[in-house]
Amino acid sequence: MLNKILITIQNSTDYQIYRDLGISNFAYPLENFAVGFDKYFKVSEMVENSYIIINKILDSDDVINLENLILEMKKQKIKGIIFSDVGVYEIFKKEKFDLIWNNIHFTINSQAINFFKDIYSSIISNDITSDEVKFILNNANKPLIINLLTHNMLSYSKRNFIKNYNRFYNKNLNNKTIIKDKITNRKMLVYDEENSTTIFSSNVVNNISLINEKNILFFFVNTFNIKQEFILDFLNCLKKGEFAKTQYLINNLDTGFLNEEMTYKIKGDIDD
């Protein structure tokens, strides 16, 4: 089971710990080209045969800087690139890396996923229901990746919400902070980094109910903001085949949108 896990590395000691457990697929957020992670890595800090996460929406300078890293990626024997911006696809399409498309709110239908015929795989979005995920898996032209454990990224902005808040109120709010809707009491995690803010579900989404689906290349574990103690417990459950037990390891677990059908036509009640 653990040989199908693709896990993000969040500090330099993670690799050996996960390796010892039996995991062999690793993803590193690339410094200056990724958002929404606790730590970012230079190419030289990544192990051979690992995947690089580039999930930033690139501007014109980023494109030039990224092209300058291709040679180093080859030297480091990087296996693949997990990308969001189609500009990254355009840069790497002729290079010999395994390309994985992960535009998190757009990989929600089989036709879009099947469009990229020359790429290795796609990560199916967490925005859709269990039935929709299954439909995509059954109709995909390649094995796909399921988000298994992650905080759902709810939004990505180029603004600095917390820095701006601190300047406006002359306060010193932490760059990673929880805010709460006053009516529903629902919480979200706001994470302000240099030139971006990402917002996440406060709960960790556990998609263990999809564990026995077919046509899955990897199960993706995004370790951002999750305690390693819990991650190891979770992985040990997987190793032992105790899938149901993973749902009770910590309090703030849920199933995200897997069982939540969305509505979008509600006539007459929204102003613009």
Question: Pick from 94, 96, 171, 214: which binds other proteins (CB under 8 A)?
Answer: 171
Q: 119-158 mask for other proteins (x: CB under 8 A)?
A: --------xx---x--xx--x------------x-xxxxx
CB of 185 to other proteins, least distance (A): 9
Number of residues that bind other proteins (CB under 8 A): 73
Bridge partners (DSSP) listed for residue 204: 151, 253
Kindly state the DSSP code that residue 193 receives in the 8-state scheme.
Answer: E
Cβ closest to other proteins, residue 135 vs residue 243: 135
Restricted to residues 242-261, the positions that interact with other proteins (CB under 8 A) are 257, 260-261
Q: How far apart are CA 132 and CA 146, in angstroms?
A: 12
**Minimal distance, residue 227 CB to other proteins, in Å:** 20
Beta strands in 71-143 (DSSP E): 80-83, 98-101, 121-124
Q: For the CB of residue 112, give the shortest distance to other proteins in the complex, in Å.
A: 4
Judged by CB, which is closer to other proteins: 158, or 227? Answer: 158
Binding pattern to other proteins, positions 5-44, x when CB under 8 A?
----------------------------------------
Nearer to other proteins, 96 or 265 (CB): 265
Long-range contacts for 192-196 (Cβ within 8 Å, ≥24 apart)? 192/160, 192/161, 192/162, 192/163, 193/35, 193/36, 195/158, 195/160, 196/35, 196/36, 196/56, 196/156, 196/157, 196/158, 196/160
Do 207 and 132 meet the contact criterion of CB atoms below 8 Å apart?
Answer: no
Any idea what DSSP says for residue 125? Answer: P
Q: Does 118 participate in binding other proteins (rule CB under 8 A)?
A: no
Report how far residue 246's alpha carbon sits from residue 235's, in angstroms, rounded to the nearest whole number. 9
Tell me which of 12, 16, 49, 59 binds other proteins, using CB under 8 A.
Answer: 59
Please state the closest distance from residue 171 (CB atom) to other proteins, in A. Answer: 5
